[in-house]
Structure 1
Amino acid sequence: MNLPALRGHNTAVVLGLLRGREGVSRGEIAAGSGLTPQAVSKILAPLRAAGLVAEAGRGESTGGKPRTLLRLVPEAGYAAGVHLDRGRLLVLLVDLMGRRLDRVDEPLELADPAAVVERVAQAVERVAAGRPLLGVGVGCPGPLDHAAGVLHRVTGLPQWDGFPLRAGLAARTGVPVAVDKDTNAAVLAEPPGGSRSSVYVHLGSGLGAGLVLDGALYRGARTNAGEFGHQTVQLDGPRCECGNRGCLEALCLAALRAGDAPAAARLVGAGVANLVRLLDVDRVVLGGAAVLAEPAVFVREVAAELAERIPDPAWQAVPVAVAAAGEQAVAAGAAELVLAPLFGRES
């Protein structure tokens, strides 16, 4: 499939209207997109020729000829979503409807970047199993440059500094590759739930956050937004692997190593309260292995810290929930890095 040829604003709008629906008429597409029926037909022709769109039967008659309904063909293309974590590799195959299909889940050490690229490529090939792959999305620890697909000084992994992950994986797989921080990827897998500004907090081997501000994923000028774990909360605190002292991440990980999940959750809650007061987000989503091991503890303690630290919690109510996609949040969101632009969504 010639993916670049299918991209374009109006084409994306039409595909976005078809995604997630069983059958849509040309008239409904025209009404939903603001395009003329003639323009809709012109856009649909190459989509049908490419096998992305097919007929879905006939709609009810409104007095004339029954309307032909159209649907997206989910199996016309797939995306692989990769969660590249410290000690673990998770790869999901996702169809055009965003449904998660096959997966590869295996241990992986991040010691050798070139070896990691080879392992990821092999896992992608296994999960795709010859099906038409539109691209690969990768969610991994930061800091990194999303636009260039290059990692920078990942805490504890100096060998990754400057490594061109996107270029290396694209050369090995032969398909487009998108790279983003794991927390940013996870945001794309999370249903908005009516929220315009939210924060996703990920606590596993590290602590980070993904931000949605005014309905759009916010990366910052250099993809450095969301380095949530490296806010200093104790000036004379323990040394963090990043080189500073008193980072929230270092304190949280120390509490987890001591077996004190409630203390770690309260620390996360204090940091989240800082974000809520700074950015006025209206929703908090929690994810990562540490959270998923004791979700009730983290939801309870983070919510309690917010209630304690927000001056008027009744007016500035901020619900706290666990990520809907659970342990697959990063990989599922990484697949959306590939698919979202096809449907007119920012990624």
Structure 2
Amino acid sequence: MARDYTYIVARLRALEAEMPDAAWFQRLARSPVGGLVSMAREFFPGFEQAGSAAEFESGLEAERTGFMVFLAKLLGDGPEILFLLSEYDFDNLLHAWKAAKLGREPVLTGAGLVDPDSVRKAAAEGARDILPTHIGRLLEELERQIEKGDLASAQYAGEAMKYRFLLDAAPGEAARGHVRRRIDLSNMKTLIRLARSSLRGAGVERALLDGGSIERDRFAGLLGEPEEELYSFLEYSDYRSLLRMGLGREADLWKIDSVLSGFLLGALEESRLSFFDLSPVLYHIALRARNERAVRAVFAGRPNGLPEDLVLERVEAALAS
């Protein structure tokens, strides 16, 4: 029997009603740099952890972690928690492992299931045994890949492993469909980045992911082709609305990120009131991620001298998603 999410949906809808509107984000973008943190605290209490605008990532991290802790309590034990939080564990281990190889200190999130200090220690020492199974295997795979390739090859393999795990762990078809869309969008972004860079050769194909609704081989066939070929293909696919949203050759990469994220949020919006699958939870998480992008656009832009009109453009692009 499908789980009834009625109570959870009601709690999340109440939180959504308290989120800032577009006008507030515009006021934030126009605020003096010295007042950004205090204004952000109106709706983002995690910014109590940020002592200045330069520490905005600490505020966003506290906000993200606090919500995931709340969500874990709301959902209780079950497959949903492994599905929702394990992604942060995969990302943490990938970042920590790469940082260890480069002799750098990783910046990790506390939003996952595994304590970041354990992840950091495991990555630095190769101590797979201190990690739970779902990321212990990842560490083993990263070490195996680095022995026969370069750092990028290992990272591609790690990302692929993360998405395979999410597909297997997805609690229901709605969650699995969400992961498939994410894989498709990731492959689109990879193709666009490759088309606009000098990276060429057979090795770049490893950056493409399996498991999406569009076969990986279809994306691989577009490698080396002009970027416009991707858009011609999408015009006759289920992703044609991306073109109306602004995806195209003239869009900057930051705008493409906003368009792809906007599509993902829009795909969840129709089912945000569903009571018998995970869609409302996924929608709420995507909505928070959208707000996080808008806040980051302000804090990354204003203190660094980006003109107000350009900051507003990035905020509006994030909110259009």
Q: Normalising to structure 2: TM-score of the pair?
A: 0.26
Q: Which has the higher contact order (CA 8 A, sep 6+)?
A: 2
Query: Relative to total residues, which structure has the larger helix share, 1 or 2?
Result: 2
Q: Normalising to structure 1: TM-score of the pair?
A: 0.25
